[in-house]
Amino acid sequence: SRLLTRRFFCARRRNILEIFNTVKDMQDKANRLREQGKRIAFVPTMGYFHEGHLDLMREGRKRGDYLVISIFVNPTQFGPAEDLDKYPRDFERDRTLAEEVGVDAIFFPDNEGMYPPRYQTYVDVEGVTKNLCGAARQGHFRGVATVCTKLFNIVKPHVTVFGKKDFQQLVTIRTMIRDLNMDIDVIGMPTTREHDGLAMSSRNVYLSEEERESALSLSRSLFLAKKMFEAGETDAGKVLAEVTRYIESYPHTRIDYAKISCVDTIEEAQHVGVDTFIALAVKVGKTRLIDNHVFGEVLDIPYPEGR
C-alpha cells in the first residue's frame, strides 16, 4: 500500500504541473497562494536542465509548499559576443524533468513579456560584481540582478535556491536582497559534479571528447589548491601559481582568470583562509567554464592523477 500511495503521489504531482507564460497569470497565482498561507519556493533557471538544476529543485521542493521554477534565457546578462543565440534550449525535455522532481509550476515567459518596448530599468549591485566574472563579462551581473528582481516580483517567493557553482552570482543575489530589503530567504547549494569531478553546466554539451578531458583541469586544480591549504600553505600567490601551472599542462585550455578572493566582498585576497575561495574561469576550446572552491568546505571529487 506504500507503493500505491507513492504511485498516487507521483501521479498527482504529474497532473498538477502548471505552466504560466505571462507575468499576470504568474502573479495572480502567486497572490492566491499567499492568500492561502502557502510558502512559495522558487528556482530561477535558463533551462536545459542537468542534475545540478534538479538538485536545486529537490531542495526547493523541501523548502516550500508550492515550488515554482522559471525558464528564461535572459538576454540582458549576455554580452554582444556571447552565446545567447546558441544557448541550448529544450522546453519539452525540461518540462518532463521538472515534473519528475515534483515541480508545481513553470514560469516560461517570452522576451517581450519580460522586456516590453520602452523597458528602461536596471538593478546594479556595485562592489561584489567588480571582479572575477563581473570584470570579464561587462554588464553580466546587472542583467542577472535585473532579471532576478523582476522574477522575484512576479513569482513572489518566500525562499529561493541558487547554486554555489556561480558563487559570485549567489553573493550578488544575497547582497541585493539585503540592500533592497527583499523579504526572501536565499539557500546556496553545493555544486553538483559528474562522477569524475567536472562541475555540471549546460555549456558542457559544447565540449568535444578531447576538450571534455581538458575541462577536468578545473576541478582537479581546485583539489590541488585545497590540498595545499590543508598542508598549511596560506600564500595565495603560491597556490595560484601551482593551479595555473596545472591547468596550463592540459591542451585546449586558456585561463581567463584564476583568483583567490574574500567570500563576502569578492575582493582579491593575499592570504588563503576559510573566509576565502578560489575561482576559475577557463576557456576550453571555445567554451568558457567556471568553477570554484570555498576553502574549508567539502570538495567531493576523485583524487586527480599527477601531472
Which residues does the annotation mark as catalytic?
A: 53
In angstroms, give the least distance from the CB of 140 to ligand PAF: 9
Is position 94 an interface residue for ligand PAF (rule: CB under 6 A)?
A: no
Find cell 516560461 and name the residue.
Answer: 108
How far is the C-alpha of 171 from the C-alpha of 133, rounded, in Å? 12
Q: What is d(CA 153, CA 75) in angstroms, rounded to the nearest whole number?
A: 19
Output 77 or 217, the one with its CB closest to ligand PAF.
77
| 68 binds ligand PAF, rule: CB under 6 A | no
Amino acid at 168: Q
Among 20, 23, 40, 45, binds ligand PAF (CB under 6 A): 45
Q: How many CB atoms lie within 10 A of CB 160?
A: 26
Given 55, 59, 166, 211, the residue binding ligand PAF (CB under 6 A): 166
| Choice between 144 and 224, CB closer to ligand PAF | 144
Under rule CB under 6 A, residue 77 binds ligand PAF: yes
Please, which residue, 131 or 253, has the CB nearer to ligand PAF? 131
Residues in contact with ligand PAF, total (CB under 6 A)?
Answer: 10
Q: Among residues 20, 40, 41, 44, which is the contact residue for ligand PAF, using CB under 6 A?
A: 44
Nearer Cβ to ligand PAF (148/228): 148
Whether residue 83 contacts residue 109, with contact meaning beta carbons closer than 8 Å, is answered with: no
Is the distance from CB of 71 to CB of 110 less than 8 angstroms?
no
Instruction: Give the number of other CB atoms < 10 A from CB of residue 142.
Output: 18
Q: Is 299 in the site for ligand PAF (CB under 6 A)?
A: no
Q: Which is nearer to ligand PAF, 51 or 210 (CB)?
A: 51
Beta strands in the chain (DSSP E): 18-20, 40-45, 66-71, 105-107, 159-163, 185-189, 253-262, 276-284, 287-294
Is residue 304 within 8 A of residue 224, CB to CB? The reply is yes
Stretch that binds ligand PAF, among 15-23, 42-50, 181-189, 212-220 (CB under 6 A): 42-50
Q: In whole angstroms, what is the distance from residue 232 CA to residue 82 CA?
A: 40
Alpha helix segments (H runs only) across 2-109: 2-15, 23-35, 51-63, 91-100
Residue 46 makes contact with ligand PAF by CB under 6 A: yes
- Min separation Cβ 23 and ligand PAF, Å: 16
Q: Which is nearer to ligand PAF, 78 or 246 (CB)?
A: 78
The C-alpha cell that represents 220 in the structure block: 582537479
Shortest distance, CB of residue 77 to ligand PAF, whole angstroms? 6
Supply 250's cell numbers.
592540459
CB of 45 to ligand PAF, least distance (A): 5
In the region spanning residues 127 to 156, those forming contacts with ligand PAF, defined by CB under 6 A, are 144, 147-148
Smallest distance, ligand PAF to C-beta of residue 74, A: 4
Q: Is 74 in the site for ligand PAF (CB under 6 A)?
A: yes
Closest CA to 285 of 220, 213, 201, 221: 213
For 45, the grid coordinates are 533557471
Interface ranges with ligand PAF (CB under 6 A)? 44-46, 74, 77, 144, 147-148, 166, 169
